[in-house]
A and B are shown apart, each in its own frame.
Chain A
Amino acid sequence: MSQGDLLHVVTEDDISDSRRMFGHGIVWASALLLAGIAIAQYAQVSGYADFGFQTWRPTLYAYILWSVCLCWSKVLIYGEHGKRVLFVLPAALFVVSLTVFPLLFGLIIAFSNWNLASPLGRQFNGLDNVRQMWADPFYWNALLNMVWYTLAIFVEYAIAFGLALLLNADIKARKFFRVAFLLPLMLSPVAVSWMIGKSMLEIRFGPIARLARWLGWETPSFFGSPEIARLIIMMLDAWTFIPFMMIMILAGLQAIPKDLTEAARVDGAGPWKTFWEIVFPLMLPVSITAVMIRIIFKLKLADIVINLTAGGPGGATDTVTSFIFREYRDRSNVGYGTMLAMFYLVLIVIFMTILMKLADRFSRPRT
């Protein structure tokens, strides 16, 4: 990866020393202010002094002020070069402030014994939560389920690819089909779990149950056995997210120059051969991106499970998120639940890093 600017900006900035001083000055002054207010508020919370603060809002405002000063100072100090930083800095500050603090908070909670109803409040309990996690078969079961759910992405991908090919074919009413195929993506998972999961899959009057009976399945049962229940969750989730992969692949297909496929046809290659030798390799980078993003979304799967099965029967459909959700909500085990979440985060960061490296290596030589 080249580290030079793609866009060369030639600037002749005359930045006076006093301007530079002023730049440094506002950063430090606002930082001091922030520190001062934060310390004062902390002192009040710990009971050393009373400044009459109601909430931590003043610290928040001071932080915002500091951020603005930091951005401004870049321009003051570096001139035109500094303005380039302004593209990235606001987003970076925003993300850092909204993730770093909560994550730190989360780490503290993760090593505590905290039952919401306990009059004692939060209590540090060292590695107890880790030990408990290690011996919790239902958490490991939920992790295993995530593997199954993730593997289902390959089927989703195949279907999405097929649909994209169909839409890319020479067909009439293409706009209609495109919109129709896209709509499931727009629907809220909560509404989907209700109207499809609970209404259409209802055993007596649901249209899918009646279809199943008509097809010869005498006593349809969609959530009775673990395997079928998991399959149903997979299908519902696939239904909402196939369009997402589909548009990405479709967009890729439309970007393939027509003459390439034309040339292949002139060379006498059948559609099958054209697909495998020209289209598919060209689509590989898009496919990898699509699958990666899909994996990321899949790892967060929860809404449908929470609303539809609550993890049942017996944890067969549990995802890690829905499991932690119940640990937190039904058992008020806040500390333990947060530990599980943190562990999950570590796992998927490792997993995704490996996956990205692999994908990088896999897709590069071909392009």
Chain B
Amino acid sequence: MKVGLYDQLMRRGATRRDVLKGAASMAALSAASAAGLGALAGPAMADEALRAQILQIPGVGAGSPTDADWQKVGELCLGATKASVKEGEFAGIELTFMGLNNQNLHNFLFRGFLKPWETYTGAKISWIDLAQADYNARLQQSIATGTVDFDILEMGAPFEGDTASKGLLDEMPDWVKTQVDMDDLVEYLKPPVGTWDGKTYRVTVDGDCHTLSFRKDYLTDSAISGATGMTTMPKTWQQMDEFSKKIKGQKDPLTGLPAFGFLDPLKGWGGFGFYFLEDRASAYAKHPSDPAWLFDPDTMKPRVNNPAWVQAIQDVMDLIAAGAYPADQINADPGTTAFQQFLAGTGAGLCWWGDVGSMARTSNTSVVGDVVEFSINPGSDRVYNSKTGEWETPEGGNFAPNMAFLGWGVYVTKRAAGDENKRKAAWSAAAHLGGKDLSLWTSAYPSGFQPYRKSHFNFDEWEKAGYDRAYIEDYLGSNADSYNHPNAAIEPRIPGIFQYYSVAEDELAKGYAGQYKSAQETADAIAAAWEKITDQIGRDSQIKLYKASLGMS
């Protein structure tokens, strides 16, 4: 949905669900207008049967998909490849694929999806599997030591500053752009995301933002709502923290175990852990009039120790002091927090990527499928204006959804580009993974990926696949609202961004454990470390790239 259209609808006072109901018809409209290009309408009709078919593998409620399911989906979605590649065309070509190794997700899926592709084209792929926490370190090491030993790379947009800027990536051929139908991407994932200096590099396979997942039953359970005094989902961090503190001592209505409020992952995660502080801080720090919120765009001076960020850190510290987290939360891996705690019935809410929504209904581990609802990240009563140095209290609060990570994409490195045939093979594999139909499946089932195309927001397809209509409108709606939010906190794609994050989460861990005297001191330590990184990488170039990534130059 175009931001302009969205704004228009919002001004007319439409609720989110109305917007979404309208979305389907609007998609049809824009499809009709695009019919001149012949890109959307025709294939979409022909593919409808296929799309319905893959959504039945293995079917919602049938447990987690397995290797056989992935291979089947990969086989069925091979149509576009068959149109552009002759059978056996890539015989003898060997490709190396570096991606994330999440049990039964990411590379596990890619292997299954690409197996039929390998059989058809004759190419052979070997795999580099990385744990999420090792990802940034391994990538940096490859870049620094000149050991880029992979042809295809699964990578998030934030790393484009580290790779594309250094000329390590291969520009996307035009036929790939057509095959993956780039127009279908949601607006915020369109260029400049995926491009560098005007060249396109990325086959998007994922869209990212954090949304709030919250337990409805915590609002209707009489004992809990009696203690917290809340019957509607907390809208701001102030309410949320109050909720977390008041719920102490209550019992979870599902499991009977002690109930907890909001779950903040407190442990580092190779840089990814910093996003959870951002969830809190963006509400305080992202002022609608200013696209920058991490650094001062003119000097690269960190804003992480300004009053807004310090407030966010202080909030977490207060909750720790109040004992509002489950035992050992300080040592719980973030993944544990979402999937062993929240989905297994511990905690009232958390901010996470959208896949919690699809996992809640389709994963073996989840018990909260029927009692979870979604919304954009909480906002704040007051927002800090960095220009004036004053706190402001806008009417209705300040909301700034965190577009954490901008989604995974598949890229082809320069290593594959030497040989034209190999280059084509690499791009064909990438395009297969970023295919329009295949991505529908990945956004509907546990995959590690969330919806990222306009065509993913067609609720009829989801409903036919077995999803409950209201649930899916709620889940997809929270995603769409975040993607299209006018005050969304967009992540800068600058070199070394994950170094800033990893240092920050390391210092935060110390702060949360009481190694620094105060939130301010913790924030100052982060800021000092950030200044050092900026100097090491080069301040002037960082300023330029930071401004460019925010669209300020």
Query: For window 245-259 of chain B, which residues contact chain A by CB distance below 8 Å?
Result: 257
In the complex, what's the smallest C-beta–C-beta distance from A352 to chain B, in angstroms? Answer: 30
Residue of B nearest to A132 (CB): B532
Residues in chain A near residue B513, CB distance under 8 A: 226, 312-316
Contact partner of A313 (CB less than 8 A), chosen from B330, B340, B537, B541, is B330
Interface-located stretch among B49-57, B349-357, B498-506: B498-506
Interface size class of B (residues with CB under 8 A): 35 or more
Query: For window 91-143 of chain B, which residues contact chain A by CB distance below 8 Å?
Result: 134, 137, 140-141, 143
Interface size on A, residues (CB 8 A): 36
Report whether over half of chain A's contact residues are helix, strand or loop; otherwise say mixed.
loop
Known A116-B141, A117-B140, A313-B330; contact A330-B270, beta-carbon cutoff 8 A: yes
Residues in chain B near residue A316, CB distance under 8 A: 513
In the complex, what's the smallest C-beta–C-beta distance from A89 to chain B, in angstroms? Answer: 33
Contact partner of A224 (CB less than 8 A), chosen from B327, B346, B495, B533, is B327
Cβ-defined contact, B509 with A117, below 8 A: no
Query: For window 201-243 of chain A, which residues contact chain B by CB distance below 8 Å?
Result: 202-204, 219-224, 226, 229
Cβ-defined contact, B538 with A314, below 8 A: no
Residues in chain B near residue A313, CB distance under 8 A: 330-331, 509, 512-513
Kindly state the separation between the CA atoms of A118 and B165 in the bound complex, as whole angstroms. 12
Cβ-defined contact, A219 with B327, below 8 A: yes
Residue of B nearest to A219 (CB): B327
Residues in chain A near residue B510, CB distance under 8 A: 138, 314-315
Kindly state the separation between the CA atoms of A331 and B137 in the bound complex, as whole angstroms. 9
Cβ-defined contact, A117 with B144, below 8 A: yes
Cβ-defined contact, B328 with A118, below 8 A: no
* Per-residue B-contact encoding for A312-344, CB less than 8 Å = 1, 0 else: 111110000000001011111010000000000
Known A116-B140, A116-B143, A313-B331; contact A331-B499, beta-carbon cutoff 8 A: yes
Instruction: Tell whether A115 is near chain B: CB-to-CB under 8 Å.
Output: yes
Kindly state the separation between the CA atoms of A198 and B509 in the bound complex, as whole angstroms. 19
Kindly state the separation between the CA atoms of A310 and B496 in the bound complex, as whole angstroms. 21
Instruction: Tell whether B536 is near chain A: CB-to-CB under 8 Å.
Output: yes
Contact partner of A315 (CB less than 8 A), chosen from B137, B495, B499, B515, is B515
Residues in chain B near residue A268, CB distance under 8 A: none
Cβ-defined contact, B143 with A222, below 8 A: no
In the complex, what's the smallest C-beta–C-beta distance from B153 to chain A, in angstroms? Answer: 17
Residue of A nearest to B270 (CB): A330
Instruction: Tell whether A30 is near chain B: CB-to-CB under 8 Å.
Output: no
Residues in chain B near residue A138, CB distance under 8 A: 510, 515
Instruction: Tell whether A266 is near chain B: CB-to-CB under 8 Å.
Output: no
Interfacial residues, chain A to chain B (CB-CB below 8 A): 113, 115-120, 138, 198, 202-204, 219-224, 226, 229, 308-316, 326, 328-332, 334
Interfacial residues, chain B to chain A (CB-CB below 8 A): 134, 137, 140-141, 143-144, 162, 166, 257, 267-268, 270-271, 326-331, 336, 340, 346, 495-496, 499, 502-503, 505-506, 509-510, 512-515, 529, 533, 536-538, 541
A-B contact pairs, 14 of them (CB 8 A): A113-B536, A117-B496, A117-B499, A119-B538, A221-B328, A224-B327, A310-B267, A312-B267, A312-B331, A313-B512, A330-B271, A330-B506, A331-B499, A334-B144
